[in-house]
Amino acid sequence: MRLPHVKPGIAAGILAPALLLATPSFAATAAPTAVTVPAVSSSADEPDPDDLRVAIVRILADPDSGRRVTREANALLDANDPEAMRAWLETGYRIAQAEDDRVAITRLLADPDSGRRVIAEANALLDANDPEAMRAWLETGYRIAQAEDDRVA
């Protein structure tokens, strides 16, 4: 190591403890202050009312939301009841979405342009009455069935 680089390091090592001990201690002289902690809900899993409203607004913004989902979500936002919002998000949303999906599938059956595969799959879904299967079919399966019917036509 070259000598010009050693001198500043030695000076810093010698002066550092002296400088630290010479400064006043603010912790010893400062008056105790009250610390405010925001209220925390009883359960870490429960969202606050603002989070519930945001979740419902996101559902409303989804273009796939049907009439029942839209009607119930707007009513919840108007009522501004966090417990009702929480209950609807846990169970009511799925029920409303399932009804809207059944209506969408029924409309596809009524469409005269629907082909054989679309009609067969839609009837099978309505007979099975499985909300998850209906949702999955509307998101991806319908397009596949319609593409096959278009190829046949």
3-state secondary structure the chain: CCHHHHHHHHHHHHHHHHHHHHCCCHHHHCCCCCCCCCCCCCCCCCCCHHHHHHHHHHHHHCCCCCHHHHHHHHHHHHHCCHHHHHHHHHHHHHHHHHHHHHHHHHHHHHCCCCCHHHHHHHHHHHHHCCHHHHHHHHHHHHHHHHHHHHHHC
Q: Is residue 139 part of a domain?
A: yes
Number of domains composing the chain: 1
**What is the domain extent for residue 116?**
47-152
Within a domain: 66? yes
Tokens representing 64 are 């796939």
Q: Which pLDDT does position 26 carry in this prediction?
A: 40
Mean pLDDT for all residues in the chain: 78
The burial class, CB within 10 Å (0-12 / 13-18 / 19+), for 131 is: middle
Domain contains 22: no
The verdict on residue 25 lying in a domain is no
Position 133 in a domain: yes
What span, in angstroms and rounded, lies between the C-alpha atoms of 102 and 93? 14
Q: Is residue 121 in some structural domain?
A: yes
Q: In whole angstroms, how far apart are CA 74 and each of 83, 87, 152?
A: 15, 15, 43
- Is 131 a domain residue? yes
pTM above 0.85, yes or no: no
Structure tokens at 16: 């550092």
Contact 117/138 with Cβ under 8 angstroms?
no
**pLDDT per residue rounded down to tens, the chain (153 residues):** 455 555 555 555 555 555 445 545 444 444 443 434 344 444 556 777 888 899 999 998 888 888 999 999 999 999 988 999 999 999 899 999 999 999 999 998 888 888 899 999 999 999 998 999 999 999 888 888 989 888 888
Rounded Cα–Cα distance for residues 136 and 67 (Å): 19
Give the pLDDT confidence of 26-66 residue by residue, as tens digits: 444 444 434 343 444 445 567 778 888 999 999 988 888 88
| Residue 24 lies inside a defined structural domain of this protein | no
